[in-house]
Amino acid sequence: MHNSYEFDYLIIGSGAAGLFAASKLATHGKVAVVNKGEFSESSTWYAQGGIAGVMDASDSVESHIADTLKAGSGLCHEDAVRNIISRGNRIISELISFGTAFDSDNGVLHLTQEAAHSHRRIAHAKDATGKAVGEALLAPVSNNPNITAFQHHMAVDVITARHLGRYTQGPDRCLGAYVLTPEGEVITIAARHTILATGGAGKVYLFTSNPHVSTGDGVAMAWRAGCPVMNMEFIQFHPTCLYNPLGSTQLLTEALRGEGAYLTDATGRRFMPDYDAQAEMAPRDIVARAIDHEMKKQGADHMYLDARHLGKEKIEAHFPNILQRLLDIGIDLREQAVPIVPAAHYLCGGVQTDVAGRTSIDGLHVIGESACTGLHGANRLASNSLLECLVMAELCAESIAEHDSGPLPRLPEWDASGVEPETERVQIKQNWEEIRTTMSNYVGIVRSDERLRRARRRLAMIREEIASYYWQHPIGRDLIELRNLSLVAELIVRSAQSRKESRGLHYSTDHPESLTQARDTVLVPESL
């Protein structure tokens, strides 16, 4: 087996952002795509609702921008918003050219509406849009001779000149990454440009709509390399995930409420009109907090999503996948209200970048959910995420395709000397569960100064234990993920402690009002 490889472009992650970037860069050089699972194990493939873009004459880019800025609670970067939103129409058209089978009526693209959107502008493929987009983007990547896929390989850390002692003056430079093989060996992949497209960090919470791979790997690797992170306190909780204590959580797409489904309590009472004039169509942060408040007030484990009044024909036509998955566990969306609970869904913060994914380290780029461009501000507008992934991938590829970074130095192999075989693995299981429980109990939808202090103390102790274990024993995927998860959890808490107000997705009982001036929370590695 080879211990070292060299490529022009190394892409870590294979969701929409990673695959789109790979297809764009393959015409300019050799591309490696590293994916720690199957191609279908990404948040892209789990996305149900769709992708937002202005595709109707009654809509406008300015309206989409206005909706995004309003949802972002004053924290959006308007230049990033305009740059990304203005490309929505063309990106959707390009996805169609790739073969994405969006729904249409008599040849006209069918658009749906989701919470906080003022128009119907969501292109979708039934209720499995992410899968349709992922399959369309995967096809040209799978058969491209310029693209090498490393499936079931997990990135351990990026390699920088500073870490190798070759950093003197000017910006640091990324040289590639160490990658764990399925056999447990660590290989070296050198690259002129490295792109982190690893998705979010939903697994830091007990309830999440994210796949198991969403452990914050890209954010953690970039932080350890020296990149600042921004607005990590803003975790979007999807209001309507299936409450299923005996099985996995399933997201129930926002499009259900967009088509008219109600949120109710056990008595059938609609409660959202008590919280916002837009009722079920209010922004996600308002809806999630309302559900959380009703659960706490009533001492209930869950609320309900009721779509029965939409009619069997509409449910079967527009939500066949959700209908079938619920039927598989004995729930008929056509005949009964579905128990739901808010669950961690999307990381609005991330590694601080521009819209092309550039970081503070030369040759290191971060795109998609791992990045923070300022598009989402303090709360993501529904279905802007796939759009951001694809626009960032395109702009990133354009910015680096013609950039000559010079020859790569010879990189040292992974040093595993001094490690000792494991005698037991209970510590990994214990730390994993404790991180997720701590985050869910103390750093959830509603926060307080005392809860955050408690979380920070516990997480600091856990991270010290993990660090000791990491350097003493052979590494595996679960240990790497645990290391990343603990770091990202701590960054979320520290960012939350820095924000002495309530804004968007961050609600504090000790600071319930918003400050007059919105400011980003930026943490740099040296400050910790």
Contacts (Cβ under 8 Å, ≥6 apart) of 145: none
pLDDT at 167: 61
Contacts (Cβ under 8 Å, ≥6 apart) of 468: none
pLDDT along the chain (528 residues), means of 10: 89 96 96 92 83 95 97 97 97 95 90 88 91 93 95 97 74 94 96 97 92 95 97 95 81 89 97 96 88 91 96 94 93 96 95 98 97 97 95 97 80 88 83 94 94 97 92 92 97 98 96 97 81
Backbone angles phi, psi at 470, to 5 degrees: -60, -45
Q: Residues 184-187: contacts with CB within 8 Å, 24+ apart?
A: 184/474, 184/476, 185/1, 185/3, 186/156, 186/413, 186/414, 186/416, 186/475, 187/1, 187/2, 187/3, 187/4, 187/5, 187/153, 187/414
Instruction: Please state, in angstroms and rounded to a whole number, the distance separating the CA atoms of residues 371 and 359.
Output: 9
Please calculate the CA angle 372-378-383 and round it to the nearest 5 degrees: 75
Tell me the one-letter amino acid at 434. Answer: E
- Global pTM value: 0.91
DSSP reduced 3-state for 70: helix
pLDDT at 528: 40
Contacts (Cβ under 8 Å, ≥6 apart) of 352: 227, 228, 229, 230, 359, 360, 372, 522
Q: Which residues are catalytic?
A: 284
Residue-range domains of the chain with CATH = 4-233+348-401 (3.50.50.60), 243-344 (3.90.700.10), 426-505 (1.20.58.100)
